[in-house]
Structure 1
């Protein structure tokens, strides 16, 4: 897997912090080096990414004013499909972030397709330094940097199952159809729901509603995301069904950790009929091990930057242990494990972790305790916020805290 080849942190710190910054996504190190020299002379900070995953991680770590986007990253690729898919992801994460396509092999036709998809301009390789520099200056002129994205808003996928699910979600996103997203806690239901809203034609607000705490339905339209929809009070279930039956200008995305059959027994039949025309099912993380390397590298880079610490070296044996691991809270559990590795500067082995299983994989108890500790620390031991992050009720979190002596 590629690593970032950027200016050192010291180099960046010596630059004026008010200088604009851009991300250049291109797999060619020579092209990156030439671009870095060009933009350094113009007082523009440039960071590099060499493929899709690195680009998404950089967007989670840093704020940028502009993205320069090559369209092919794999050896022999010329059709621009990788870059067009990444362009879509960038515009979901940062709708107002300008993207300039930089293309050679793909040609003008694909560059024009990229502009139709949301890119603001394109340049051809080999570029003219003055023209590229002037184009970038024009776009950056007067633009303010965006706030940093949170890692949770980044959808990192590599497995065929998740690619299929995301493709179906993207196909349905422009419609107004209500949806149910099923999947175990921490598997990525909320991030997928946010992606659907971002790709929809719904210009209204997005509202996150915790069904267990909901006393009344919101007013107005937009997208309503109900977490643990089965916990919605029966009277509110009937009211929600009435609103959907009445054609109210709202889109409902219902999230649940239950399977469809169990959910049918818990929801008012009319509401289930209205919501359940389309159900997307996200499998648990241990059933899609191909996603684990991509997620692990993303979280390694994210937390190393967030905490200002070096990334611990991830050897093949560490990755094998992660892929064989038990993840009771799915991506959340993996996230907590990677953050702990960054904070400790090393990976736990059986000799370092007395509670670990014989094959070096943390036990279910270890993983759950670590996850709870991390959530509590992240929220300064605010139990309500930690419980919400973990997808638990306050009483359920208190019981687990007592079990682990926290």
Structure 2
């Protein structure tokens, strides 16, 4: 809960909370003292990842955003990218840009990208306070909001995928997002909708439960599109043939070849123009490390507990895991580490390794190798036995050197 400090110094509930993103600790200290005197709490972040974690784990009413965090950078590109990610998480979030080196031109660009206002460094204390307090008053927050989990992107492969999704977000193009359970399909779909700047609310539909299509248009996110009944697939195709059609973002755990086998060809003509395939987490060690740092900070803030140390050995263990539940599984392991204060739980990867018990990665490799040998390395038959598509089996064979 945010705390308001009255004139006597006593803490009472309901103080507004702002997040100040700036890599200069002296600026952070000066700002904190300034806002404390006006009963405003302030959180600090020195860069992109820390800022997104604070936003996802804390009740933030307003952001003050510097535009450069890396030494020598003056273009403001880092801040503009962070501004976009913040507004994806919280479309209603007021962001005031604080700029010095970047100047007025880049501040204007930030306003066009969604910032509420800007202030130049060195700022005038009274003007800054008036701007912040006026913005908070206009927002009239009844209660603090908790943001959806941030989409943390570190690997080159995922960066390219997200960049393509961002490029297509402003269009009305239907698209399909594939990937294993827990890989982040819904998070990416919500990001696309947020960047689309559509005013209509998004409608989320579970395909296996769908017996009728919504009357209104807007954006429809179909979960498990492959589970949509054949009659409903035909009705959906008919709806997409209309002049004013909804935008469909279809999600599936099936890979594209298997999806093509179960979807109505006419429906696939609409949906299959763009297919975004999220790779499994075990193939993205850079994302494993970035997500680990994010979730450790997130859960330590959320639960008010110390953040466990993520050393080199622990990092190697996390990167070696197969993560069958993908981001969902990693998140659970890291929350458990924060709650218990130790990595040494019975289900933890490191203890599994030290006790000599096969890891999930070892088990999967063994199952694949056994199936291949049983079928004389006939990939089609082995894939059928394992419940995989041929491309999925080929990727796993490459991963394990089979």
User: What do residues 173-223 of structure 1 show as CA deviations (whole Å, max 9, x unaligned)?
Assistant: 111110001111111110000011111142222111111122222221121
The answer (yes or no) to whether the contact 1:151–1:302 under 8 Å persists in 2 is: no
Quickly say closer, same or farther: Cα 1:150–1:87, change in 2 above 3 A. closer
The answer (yes or no) to whether the contact 2:314–2:350 under 8 Å persists in 1 is: no
1-side partners of 2:350 and 2:127: how far apart?
A: 61
How does the TM-score come out when normalised to structure 1? 0.83
The residue aligned with 2:235 is 239
**1:328-347 matches, cutoff 5 A:** 328-347=324-343
- Shift in Å at residue 85 of structure 1? 0.6
Does residue 217 in structure 1 map to residue 213 in structure 2? yes
- Shift in Å at residue 299 of structure 1? 1.1
Quickly say closer, same or farther: Cα 1:202–1:350, change in 2 above 3 A. closer
Q: 1:273 aligns with which of 257, 269, 272?
A: 269
Does residue 124 in structure 1 map to residue 120 in structure 2? yes
User: What do residues 22-71 of structure 1 show as CA deviations (whole Å, max 9, x unaligned)?
Assistant: 10000111110010011111111101011111111111111222110000
Q: Which secondary structure does the structure 2 equivalent of 1:141 belong to?
A: helix
The residue aligned with 1:254 is 250
Does residue 104 in structure 1 map to residue 100 in structure 2? yes
Could you list the structure 1 runs, at least 4 aligned residues long, displaced by more than 6 angstroms after superposition: 8-13, 349-355, 359-362, 365-368
**1:5-404 matches, cutoff 5 A:** 15-145=11-141, 147-152=144-149, 154-348=150-344, 356-358=352-354, 363-364=359-360
Quickly say closer, same or farther: Cα 1:362–1:218, change in 2 above 3 A. farther
| Structure of higher CA gyration radius | 2
Greater mean deviation of Cα atoms: 27-36 or 139-148: 139-148
Structure 2: give runs of 5+ residues left out of the alignment: 365-402
The answer (yes or no) to whether the contact 1:321–1:361 under 8 Å persists in 2 is: no
The residue aligned with 1:393 is none
The answer (yes or no) to whether the contact 1:356–1:366 under 8 Å persists in 2 is: no
Quickly say closer, same or farther: Cα 1:202–1:353, change in 2 above 3 A. closer
User: What do residues 295-326 of structure 1 show as CA deviations (whole Å, max 9, x unaligned)?
Assistant: 11211122222223221122121122111212
Q: CA RMSD in A?
A: 2.8
2-side partners of 1:121 and 1:361: how far apart?
A: 57
2-side partners of 1:92 and 1:148: how far apart?
A: 15
Greater mean deviation of Cα atoms: 291-300 or 341-350: 341-350
Quickly say closer, same or farther: Cα 1:103–1:269, change in 2 above 3 A. same
Quickly say closer, same or farther: Cα 1:143–1:360, change in 2 above 3 A. farther
- Shift in Å at residue 137 of structure 1? 1.8
- Shift in Å at residue 286 of structure 1? 1.1
User: What do residues 247-276 of structure 1 show as CA deviations (whole Å, max 9, x unaligned)?
Assistant: 333110011111111100000000111100
How does the TM-score come out when normalised to structure 2? 0.83
- Shift in Å at residue 361 of structure 1? 9.4
2-side partners of 1:84 and 1:111: how far apart?
A: 9
2-side partners of 1:284 and 1:256: how far apart?
A: 13
- Shift in Å at residue 334 of structure 1? 0.3
The answer (yes or no) to whether the contact 2:61–2:144 under 8 Å persists in 1 is: no
- Shift in Å at residue 151 of structure 1? 4.5
The residue aligned with 1:372 is none
1-side partners of 2:95 and 2:203: how far apart?
A: 28
Q: Which secondary structure does the structure 1 equivalent of 2:20 belong to?
A: strand
Greater mean deviation of Cα atoms: 302-311 or 172-181: 302-311
Q: Which secondary structure does the structure 2 equivalent of 1:357 belong to?
A: helix
